[in-house]
Chain A
Amino acid sequence: MKTYDVIVVGAGPAGTTAALRMAQKGLKVLLVERGDAPGSKNMFGGMLPNCPIVEELLPGFWDEAPWERHVVKRILTIMSDVSSTQLVFESKNFDNQPYNGYTLFRPVFDKWYAEKACIAGATLLTGCLVEDILYKGNAVSGVRIARDNGDIRAPVVVACDGVLSLLAKKSGLVKEPKPSDMALGIKALFRLPEEEINARFNLVRRQGVTQEFLGCTDGIRGGGFIYTQTETLSVGLVFHLDAIKNSGIAPYDLLERFLSSDPVRRILKGAHLMEYSAHVLPEGGYKMVPRLFTDGMLLAGDAAGLCYTNGLNQEGMNLAITSGYLAAETISDAFQKGDFSSRQLAGYETRLKESFVLKDMKTFEKTVDLMHNERLFSVYPALVGSILEQLYCSDGKPRKKMGRLGWDAIKAALPMKELIADIVKGGRSLI
């Protein structure tokens, strides 16, 4: 039987980080990936927010990593049936290194990153599905892969097998999630010449943009996005699973409508459709994060539910990388003590709680409730459009003062009771 010091399941950002760090510490690491190459199963928006720990892991990381554009500009577009309102933020500070965020392709990035783990001494096994956990007493002591003599032993396993983590479920750490705690993302990739992207978004060099859309989902809880890569655009929608289920509408039909809406259609003019993808993502926030360790096993990345949005930030990949790193540090300590019990591995949760990973998720714990407010996706986007249209409209009739106009529009849009409830809830979750 094959034995290792550590088995890491899943060669995504969490798994590869953990494997790389532990290999650097001299441990005998096996990294198992079900795709025929790392990244080939991953759907990504997306932007990797700056994640300082990677420079500790691999000095010169960003000089070498295959990213596409660094994000200098963030756009929020609020759509109604007839109008759209944009908030555009750009900063010179985001144009200096270390950059604030990077767009990238996961099949390219993950493959490069896993090679770094191999160079550090980890063994990568691709095209290999983990089917079960092996136990010694109550402690996890390895995994079973779908091959002859597929039992592989190690005193500790790191489950980085994604949002649908089989290991987290089999170990009993995670129960089947509720559809309201999960989202479905679908995405179309379009090719457009680099100069065209630069011209349409007013960019130079390798500058990039992320654009988020609210009010583009037919009132279904969700939103839209565009990310710029060097010569491609990632365009898609994300919905709460319960909301899309109850809507009776197909996600690709909503995507079609989104792609043909004025603000998106103009950006995509002449662009060539290249690829389509979809995946669920954790959207339950802090309350959905399970116990992250058991005897002989840790959870990291999406498998641990480490992913959140507060409306403006969508973070996951940086949380995955950091959790993988902290899992590696914890396991390294465990090897020094020769103890892989949950009491020893609990240090992992302490580390995560001290880091931005669980601190940020805790900070925005209540934002999850705000994101489940239907009005945020229908009433309020329409209200923004209606107020601005009245402010700008010239029709030969006397104008109202701005405050009066806004107040009248709000009163017409929703009952006072709901408005107050939303202000209280919004205040609690963000202020």
Chain B
Amino acid sequence: MIVDDLFDLVSYRVHPEPHIKVNRTICERCIHRACTYVCPARCYLWNGEKERIDFAYEPCLECGTCLLICDKGALEWHYPKGGFGVRFRLT
């Protein structure tokens, strides 16, 4: 599968502080959990055991998809601090 390799080919300078914060209490009201499949960087995963969204900001591509598809307002969304985050080399 090509897809499995995609995510390892992106370079980042990760800031210690997350630039997006997820309010899981609000997520409890969400029935579609679209972020878990629409996010092109797989930042949002549904944890079936703990019944919650697990979020990782490190692989974020800063594309804006989650901000626009979250209809519950569960995200506190910012770009990473200047000079941090994804660093496209050629694309």
Contact = CB atoms under 8 A, between A and B. Distances in A.
Contact of A273 (B9, B32, B42, B88): B9
A262 B57 CA distance: 35
Interface in B1-47: 1-3, 5-7, 9-10, 13, 32, 34, 37-38, 40-42
Nearest to A232: B90
A164 B87 CA distance: 18
B34 to A, nearest CB: 5
A34 B82 contact: yes
A146 B82 contact: yes
Nearest to A188: B6
A129 B82 contact: yes
Chain B, interface residues (CB within 8 Å), range:
35 or more
A259 B2 contact: yes
A256 B61 contact: no
B32 A245 contact: yes
A277 B69 contact: no
Nearest to A279: B63
B40 A252 contact: yes
Interface string B45-88: 00000000000000001111101110000000001111101111
B81 to A, nearest CB: 6
A148 to B, nearest CB: 13
A234 B90 CA distance: 10
B1 to A, nearest CB: 6
Given A179-B69, A245-B38, A276-B7, 17 more contacts: A40-B88, A105-B90, A107-B88, A127-B83, A128-B83, A129-B79, A129-B80, A176-B68, A188-B2, A244-B38, A245-B34, A250-B42, A252-B42, A256-B2, A275-B9, A276-B6, A278-B63
